[in-house]
Amino acid sequence: MIRATWARTVYELRIFSRDRRSVFFTIVLPIMLLVIFGSIFGQTKLGHGVRFSQYFVAGMLASAILYSSFQQLAIMIPEERSNGTLKRIKGSPLPPAAYFAGKFFATVLVYVVQAAGLFIIGASAYHVQLPHGMGWINFVWISLLGLLASALLGIAFSSLARDGRAASALASPVLLFLQFSSGVYMVFTTLPHWMQHVGALFPLKWLAQSMRGVFLPAVFAQNEVGHSFGYGETALVLTAWVLVGGLWCWRRFAWVPLDQA
């Protein structure tokens, strides 16, 4: 099982690196957005000597979690279902768990590259202060739990589309809506209330909020809903999504093309 998972992880990364479209959308796009927003608002001060870029990099990391796990899996799996990859795996002795674990570990490594890119560009060009001490520990658990919840949601979402092209058309607007309603591009508390309520149902709002906890000084907690970065709530909401997504994948995952089932 460990050997098979390792082999799948290496294979997934090799294939990912050969697919220019995936590399662009998951690694280059968040960095590009950081450069665009950093260039426009980078000098804007939020008080207490904190620049907008510091606020924004937390949102971009939360988005990067969704790009590398949710988006990547929600599009790749329907593609692999329609082209026969999943059917072939199902007919082989590969344990299904090794397929999913391989995808997840590849996702984690892609995220590490994304985050490193955001840190390096952010720190060198836009005065972003990197976390320190407990900040790193929070960063790691938020990232891992967020990646797991989003990956499971991506796998569940993959059941809705017949192939990669349809999946791409379905996933992109969902992702865009979540980014706006979760306070990635704008300060969350300035959003209309209904949008805040919708955003609060999904992982991204909590990822963005707790990432702000990692990157912003403690006094900024006053600006959040409930005057807290909400680590506890974040852990609860993400764990709930892990359970919902996991249950869906376990019960409903389809290995054969949807038109053959």
- Scanning 10-18, 32-40, 198-206, 228-236 for contacts with other proteins by CB under 8 A, the matching segment is 10-18
Taking contact as CB under 8 A, which single stretch among the options 15-23, 40-48, 59-67, 204-212 is the one that binds other proteins? 15-23
In Å, how far are 73, 91, 109, 132, 237 from 78, measured between CA atoms? Answer: 8, 18, 22, 40, 26
Shortest distance (Å) from residue 6 CB to other proteins: 10
Select 83 or 228, whichever has its Cβ closest to other proteins. 83
Using CB under 8 A as the binding criterion, the count of chain residues that bind other proteins stands at 23
**Piece of the chain touching other proteins by CB under 8 A; list 8-16, 33-41, 136-144, 232-240:** 8-16
Considering the complex, what minimum distance in angstroms separates the CB of residue 257 from other proteins? 9
Q: Which is nearer to other proteins, 79 or 224 (CB)?
A: 79
- Report the residue number, 8 or 205, with the smaller CB distance to other proteins: 8
Shortest distance (Å) from residue 261 CB to other proteins? 9
Q: Which of residues 85 and 223 has its CB atom nearest to other proteins in the complex?
A: 85
Distance CA(223)–CA(47), nearest Å, equals 12
The verdict on 15 binding other proteins (CB under 8 A) reads yes
Q: How far apart are CA 33 and CA 44, in angstroms?
A: 17
Q: Is 218 exposed, middle or buried (0-12, 13-18, 19+ CB in 10 A)?
A: exposed
Q: Number of C-alpha atoms within 13 angstroms, CB side, residue 32? A: 7
- Whichever of 107 and 209 has its CB closer to other proteins, that residue is 107
Q: What are phi and psi of 11, to 5 degrees?
A: -60, -45
Least gap, CB of 247 to other proteins (angstroms): 22
Smallest distance, other proteins to C-beta of residue 9, A = 11
Residue 9 binds other proteins, judged by CB under 8 A: no
Binding positions for other proteins, 45-104, rule CB under 8 A: 80, 83-85, 87-88, 90-95
What distances in angstroms separate CA 253 from CA 77, 78, 106, 176, 177, one per listed residue? 10, 11, 20, 25, 25
Could you say which residues in the range 231-260 bind other proteins, by CB under 8 A? Answer: 255-256
Minimum distance from residue 105 beta carbon to other proteins (Å): 15
Task: Tell me which residues touch other proteins (CB under 8 A).
Answer: 3-4, 7-8, 11, 14-15, 18-19, 80, 83-85, 87-88, 90-95, 255-256
